[in-house]
Structure 1
Amino acid sequence: MDKLDRIVVGHIEERLLDPERIEEILASLLDRRQESVQRRSQHIAELNQRAAEADMRLKRLYDAIEAGSLDPAESALGERIAGLTALRDQARADAERTEAMLKGPAHQGITGAAVRELASEARTRLRLGKGGYRREHVRAFAQRVVVADDAIYIKGNKNVLLKTLMATKGGKSAGIGVPGFIPKWRRGWD
């Protein structure tokens, strides 16, 4: 096991966490994350526009009531005001929720240079002696190690790799917790 551990850690450190290679591996993931941020920003602008339009309509209704053009006792008017108010409030709430999500740590802007820096830091931490921190990072980088007669296959996930690199930056544990989306991870135990 010690020999296998050294081989796996050495491969992760020298091959996977090579700064140029890690940027190449994560380039498509980083591009998709950036596109997602742009789409969500555009959605926020659309929600704010929808709220502003509903607010403008409400203002026109109130102006018409004040000018005496509309009868405030009319039943359809109350329903219309309630509908526009609900539309405005929902659009504002959705925009605020989406903005808060974009400000969260999962949507921080990560550049190729930052990924290279994170990979260098992760390599340093993998060089630490035995211990929980190193073991958790190895498990996070290599979710699956298959030993065949003529080769060792190390498999992982790009999203988990990025999360592990981010955890390395903050000095946090790289433990990924209970794997909730891995099919059959506890097959036969439940």
Structure 2
Amino acid sequence: MIRLMFRLLSEGDGTGGPLGVKAATSWLNERGHRTRGGARWGIGQLHKLLTSPTYKGDYRFNRKVWKTKEDKPETEQVMVPVDPIIEPAVFDAVQTRLKARSPKTTPPRVVTGPILLTGIATCASCGGGMTLRTGKSGRYRYYTCATCAQQGKSACKGRSIPMDRLDTLVTERLAETLFTADRVRAILGGLLERQASRSEDHAHRMTALQNKVVDAEGRLSRLYQAIETGVADFADPTLKDRVAALKTERDQAKATLDRAFAELRPETRITEEKIASFASLMRENVKNGPVPFRRAYLRAVIDQVEVDDAEIRIHGRRDVLERLVMGGGAAPAGVPSFVRKWRTRRDSNS
């Protein structure tokens, strides 16, 4: 049931793009899914469940003051690792998407409106948004500078571009130039090199941890043999303390070794297969499907489409691209912040 909920938010139900909390709540209720107490699901209940880090393996102990029920400072909370139900990458992608769709962060019209580049396209002269303008009773549709339209040419000289033309330029340029395995690999080249270097260091660290576990277990075994043969008396308080300390040392080494193994899982690393899968999926999803579905994928990877008189500049972030490749592109991440990193000079639509 938990996995189903996260799948609805990250991938959808197979008939369209990812669902929001309200749509997912309706989907669950319409199909007869109920809470543990047999009640219908509510938006607040579902949102609370979807934002609980316990499902990705991070349980917080000592969170609240028992008298007032107020949250304690994070420094006083204790993080207890538990078996995850949801992969951390999927959980984090859903959190990012929930924050991006919040009305406090993004106006609802940007999330659900019928215009592909709403909230993304901006005027190069003033930085204002490019909004819809129609002509000939709606027969023609344009992106036009909102600053000029609202405040006049004294605020911005303004510019317009046919909506279909800009949509096509952006999606085709992204599909042909950015969403290719070679380009993604080139952008993330430094990261792949650092990842390979870290893997070698990681192997040395894991060997040391494995040796530490073996050493602690060997010392424990020798103590147990001494007790069994009567050489040592288990009633001796000093011996009891020594056994307890060795057990703690062994358990801590095992826990650290388990975490080190987890860091080497395929889902925590960027591979050639993930790069190819991401590029293929994104090429398909930005060009086909309903506008809200396509816009979710566009907003997942680009920050801004800057419209100038002679060129169109597309801006995005390398760290966002990295996170999406890790997830295979299956979960649109919502609205990245406006920091420009992966675009360099004139590699977009000129």
Contact kept, 8 Å, 1:12 with 1:141, in 2: the verdict is no
The answer to whether the aligner puts 1:128 opposite 2:288 as a matched pair is yes
1:65 aligned residue = 227
1:30 aligned residue = 192
Aligned to 1:70, what secondary structure does the other structure show?
Answer: coil
* Higher strand proportion (structure 1 or 2): 2
* Higher helix proportion (structure 1 or 2): 1
Deviations 1:97-146 (A, max 9, x none): 33244336233x512x6524542342233221542332122112212334
Q: Which of 292, 295, 318 is residue 158 of structure 1 equivalent to?
A: 318
Corresponding letter in the other structure for 1:62:
Y
Q: How far did residue 24 of structure 1 move?
A: 1.3
Contact kept, 8 Å, 1:137 with 1:164, in 2: the verdict is no
Contact kept, 8 Å, 1:144 with 1:156, in 2: the verdict is yes
Q: Which has the higher contact order (CA 8 A, sep 6+)?
A: 1
Corresponding letter in the other structure for 2:319:
N
Aligned residue runs from structure 1 range 30-179, under 5 A = 30-103=192-265, 105-107=267-269, 110-111=271-272, 115-116=275-276, 118-147=278-307, 151-165=311-325, 167=327, 172=330, 174-177=331-334
Which runs of 5 or more structure 2 residues have no equivalent in the other structure?
Answer: 1-142, 144-162, 340-350
Distance 2:293 2:326 in 1: 14
Q: TM-score, normalised by structure 1?
A: 0.72
Aligned to 1:132, what secondary structure does the other structure show?
Answer: helix
Q: How far did residue 87 of structure 1 move?
A: 0.8
Which runs of 5 or more structure 1 residues have no equivalent in the other structure?
Answer: 185-190
Q: How far did residue 78 of structure 1 move?
A: 1.3
Q: How far did residue 41 of structure 1 move?
A: 4.4
Distance 2:168 2:239 in 1: 75
2:41 aligned residue = none
Q: How far did residue 56 of structure 1 move?
A: 0.4
Q: Quick one: percent identity of the two aligned structures?
A: 32
Q: How far did residue 23 of structure 1 move?
A: 2.0
Distance 2:275 2:220 in 1: 48
Distance 1:141 1:57 in 2: 53
Contact kept, 8 Å, 1:48 with 1:95, in 2: the verdict is yes
2:84 aligned residue = none
Aligned to 2:215, what secondary structure does the other structure show?
Answer: helix
Q: TM-score, normalised by structure 2?
A: 0.43
